[in-house]
Structure 1
């Protein structure tokens, strides 16, 4: 907890160091749960059944080659997705897909309250129904970059990103970004100047779901 705080601004060497620290932490935690006499026997017995996949990541002893990074730098555009979008209090314009997962973020630190150690910073906000993600949240400001679409590190607050960051949403935003890129090329224009009505029509024709409830 807190071990990833320097990741966004770190260079390759520092990120490798952070990666190895996380590996050591996970290995140590599993060993402790499986072997330390301070852990209840039923927990140790249960944990001792865990194992690494024998046929995967063979070059690194069964451990994944990369660290899972959920969130670091994100785009800042003229439209920032927020919690109000997730709660449908504000409707995001120019929908290019729907997200629906809860606004979920892990703990950030531990504090001592009345002599008891407690974790803080966890967010688990309910999303009642799917909500649209705006095309403007994946398109940089043209004065900053005119030839880029960013469907993953999109313009979003930390809370809203906790919902949008699910892999199926990245896939559908990627499809929408690819469609916009083709239309920009065909129209000999920038991605910022792609006509949304034309983009929307093509996405719907391809089976994309842009509104909820479904029409």
Structure 2
């Protein structure tokens, strides 16, 4: 029987992965006039924000309230607000950061596609990169497995926003995984939503029992604030003695008025790039969801009539592979609020590393003005000349990844990677040779905050 000929698609910029970084990379490249193709394995985009229910977005601001991430990420928030699908940036009522940004994930899925269509981006959903064709130190094409067979996508520039550095790894770029010495990564979490929650009753309990909640909870302001986040219920969690290595209850309100997003399951010691480990993680994560939901309904005030309304399509992955790039952003860079001449994004989210093996969370706050720079060199892998990286798999240490992995930071690095890819294509140069001042000027034109 004759084999069907493989379809071929030609592009200027190929973006692999449709999460927050990929959306903003493709949006930036398309708006600069590059023929851009976005490849996504699911039938929708949003990555961890939609498939794994990572909600809300944290954070566009420093802990003092200064906005340090804007650009196309802020544009996305503004358009969600126009659609009444987000209240915008609201106070974080557990006090961990200054603001968080709730959004309606189903509206976000549609809006993101609309914005990409407006930018002329071609989207290929239900497609998975299964091989990479190299020409020396350059990627020539990627081959997809799709519902309609195998497809070859040829490009001049490639952007890896897969979250797991899938493209970079397949192309032969050096990669890192986990923390130094033992290669253990942050745990995975299966997130879920519950409806029927009486948030007024929850708020009243917090006001009356402040010692049972996170020490930075703005108790005195709570009567006048929308209850966006809750961290604590320490007594209830300890008494439950559930077999989950976590030390507290954590949930976020929305998108509906009686709904919360629960972030409490924890699957440790498994590798997010290993199919057997992922299979086990999905199994264990869903069992933990049922366990946690039963505990909340039976033990927490305000949850008496609550029930599960949604569970993630996949388990949430905080950390897997990341590139060993031209510069590895490290913990000192973040904590000291270091500035770089080749800054392409900033962030005010503290280092937040969920322990790979026990029930703790390492938190390190940012000194100075409360923000740090992400350098362009951290988006550039070694050995591959026409590849950039954005999002969770940029070049960082295990500790620094505890801040760069957050969605607003991924939006910002994705926007920078897509902009640089389009500029490199248009000038027929490698991403490494892109003028930093010219790139920074482009990003500022797009609303990015670099100082």
Q: TM-score range by the shorter chain?
A: 0.7 to 0.9
**CA–CA distance in structure 1, aligned partners of residues 388 and 307 of structure 2:** 40
**Pick from 251, 274, 288: which aligns with 1:10?**
274
1:23 aligned to 286, 291, 296, which one? 286
Cα distance in 2 between the residues matched to 1:92 and 1:82: 13
Aligned residue pairs total 184
Give me the whole-angstrom Cα distance separating, in 1, the residues matched to 2:304 and 2:287.
18
Q: Is the 8 A contact 1:151 1:174 kept in 2?
A: yes
Q: TM-score, normalised by structure 1?
A: 0.77
Q: Secondary structure at the match of 1:149?
A: strand
Which residue of structure 2 aligns with residue 161 of structure 1? 401
Instruction: Judge conservation of contact 2:337–2:366 (CA < 8 Å) in 1.
Output: no
Superposition deviation, residue 45 in structure 1: 5.5
CA distance in 1: counterparts of 2:440 and 2:376, whole angstroms: 10
Name which of 186, 190, 193 aligns with 2:426: 186
1:35-83 deviation line (CA, Å, top 9, x unaligned): 5xxxxxxx25644333223xxxxxxxx3221111111111111211112
Q: Which of 323, 326, 345 is equivalent to 1:97?
A: 345
In structure 2, relative to structure 1, the CA distance for the partners of 1:32 and 1:168 (3 Å cut) is: closer
Of the structure 1 ranges 100-109 and 177-186, higher mean CA displacement relative to structure 2 is found in: 100-109
Note the residue ranges of structure 1 that are not aligned, 5 or more in a row. 36-42, 54-61, 111-118
Provide the alpha-carbon RMSD of the alignment.
2.1
**Which structure has more strand as a fraction of its residues?**
2
Query: Following superposition of structure 1 onto structure 2, how do residues 128-207 of structure 1 map, counting pairs within 5 Å?
Result: 128=367, 129-141=370-382, 143=383, 145-152=384-391, 153-207=393-447
What is the aligned counterpart of 1:124 among 363, 382, 385?
A: 363
Q: In structure 2, how many angstroms separate the alpha carbons of the residues matched to 1:44 and 1:172?
A: 37
> C-alpha deviations, 1:84-119, integer Å up to 9, x for none?
211236433400011111111123334xxxxxxxx3
Residues in 2 aligned to 1:45 and 1:87: alpha-carbon distance in whole angstroms: 37
Q: Is the 8 A contact 1:85 1:92 kept in 2?
A: no
Structure 1 pair 194/22, CA: closer, same or farther in 2 (3 Å)? same
Paired residue secondary structure (1:109): coil
Residue of 35, 48, 61 corresponding to 2:304: 48
1:186, distance to aligned residue in structure 2 (A):
0.5
- Partner SS for 1:69: coil
- Relative to structure 1, the CA distance from residue 94 to residue 25 in structure 2 (aligned partners, 3 Å threshold; closer, same or farther) is same
Q: Deviations over 1:127-175 (max 9, x none)?
A: 241211011001111x2x1222111110111221111222111111111
Is the helix fraction higher in 1 or 2? 1
Q: Is the 8 A contact 2:420 2:439 kept in 1?
A: yes
Task: Name the SS of the counterpart of 2:387 in structure 1.
Answer: coil
Question: Do 1:33 and 1:44's aligned partners in 2 also have CA atoms closer than 8 Å?
Answer: yes
TM-score by structure 2 length?
0.38
Distance 1:14 1:187 in 2: 43
- The ranges of structure 1 where at least 4 consecutive aligned residues each deviate by more than 6 angstroms after the TM superposition are none
**Deviation string, structure 1 residues 167-195 (Cα, Å, up to 9, x no partner):** 11111111111110110100111112212
Structure ranking higher on relative contact order (CA contacts 8 Å, 6+ apart): 2
Question: Structure 2: 5+ residue runs without aligned partners?
Answer: 1-244, 246-265
Aligned counterparts of 1:134 and 1:69: Cα–Cα separation in 2: 24
Q: Does 1:107 align with 2:347?
A: no
